[in-house]
Amino acid sequence: MKDSLISIVIPVFNEESNVETVFEKISQILKDEKSEIIFVDDGSVDGTLKAIEQLAQRYPNIKGLSFSRNFGHQAAIKAGLDHATGDCVITLDCDLEHPPEYISQMLTHWREGSEVVISTRNPAQHLPILKKLSSKVFYTLLNSLSDVPIQIGSADFRLLDKKVVSACRNIHESDLFWRGIIPWVGFKTTYIRYDQGLRESGESKYTLAKMLKLSASGITSSSVRPLYLSFYFGIVLTSISFCYLMYQFGKSLINTPEPMGWKTLIASVLFIGGLELLALGILGIYLGKLVTQLKGRPPYILNRIVTNSKQESELKKAV
């Protein structure tokens, strides 16, 4: 397997200053390997695509995929998997928070028989306490609701054998969440731990809004249990309301004076109303996913393919 082709997929969004840096680090690690490096430009508005083009003209193993607009990080991974030709594919981010130094360890496990190598992040001391706490809460909640266990700290820094990549290409979900899809796909899996690196330049593109959206997508993509939970909450609240009604009816029969309790009444109404809105919101998310899936739109649309031969293909139909 020493002569195997290694594919590296790197989603990029406004990472002009990091493109060449991450390429140089990966090239040094894979200097004795046959490799292809695929940068997936997720609708960047800076000079990211130009930086990829310049690299592609200098190195024959560089390929660039450019989206027609920003479709998101998970769609960029999908595009990379669809166009990779290697015997295995490694996905990692361009900001160097996924340290390329762990690629060698992944390849070792793959050559020993693992078909999936998933990295899980060690707790980073430099991260804000709020981010650490939110991450722990997210994975705890996700695992309590998911049909397939997902390791705490799992990242989109992983290795997939070509047979796993082939299976992933057959997945046509409109709302992708690879951290849940890969454990669901199965195959022989090895987990490794990594220390998160520091971003070399630029700022993180994962805003609070994007993280919340990813969290909601991850939970609703991995299971339908939230729908069952809302149903169970409804049963519990209905039972409590019925018991309270019977209690009040019994008190009225023995003419027990009823003290004023507007605060309790208002609190109860607000509590039940909030739960109803929560249940409707959960139902709305699933219905929205269903509508999007039924439309049959592709998860991404390519605008150009950048290669060393300077030939950029205009795609005439969705990939």
Q: Is residue 318 part of a domain?
A: no
The verdict on 215 and 244 lying in the same domain is no
Q: CATH number of the domain that 99 lies in? A: 3.90.550.10
| Beta bridge pairs of residue 160 | 89, 116
The verdict on 173 and 291 lying in the same domain is no
- Segment 8-20, tens digit of pLDDT: 999 999 888 888 8
The verdict on 193 and 242 lying in the same domain is no
Average pLDDT over residues 182-207: 75
Q: Is residue 174 part of a domain?
A: yes
The verdict on 219 and 242 lying in the same domain is no
pLDDT of residue 259 exceeding 60: no
Q: Is residue 316 part of a domain?
A: no
Closest by Cα among 28, 17, 24, 55 to 39:
55
Confidence bin at 153 (pLDDT 50/70/90):
confident
* Token pair 């360890």 in the structure block, residue: 105
Q: What percent of the chain has pLDDT over 90?
A: 25
- Segment 89-139, tens digit of pLDDT: 999 988 888 889 999 999 999 999 999 999 888 866 555 566 656 666 666
The verdict on 65 and 192 lying in the same domain is yes
The verdict on 126 and 55 lying in the same domain is yes
CB 109 within 8 A of CB 189: no
- Segment 36-50, tens digit of pLDDT: 999 999 988 888 999
The verdict on 59 and 190 lying in the same domain is yes
pTM of whole model > 0.85? no
What pLDDT shows up at residue 26? Answer: 92
Rounded to whole angstroms, the Cα distance separating 22 from 197 reads 12
What pLDDT shows up at residue 183? Answer: 86
C-alpha distances (whole Å) from 195 to each of 158, 160, 205, 299 are: 14, 20, 20, 31
What pLDDT shows up at residue 112? Answer: 92
What pLDDT shows up at residue 313? Answer: 45
The verdict on 148 and 172 lying in the same domain is yes
The verdict on 134 and 245 lying in the same domain is no
Domain that holds residue 140: 5-223+298-306
| Beta bridge pairs of residue 117 | 159, 190
* Number of domains composing the chain: 2
Longest dimension (CA), the chain: 92
| Beta bridge pairs of residue 36 | 7
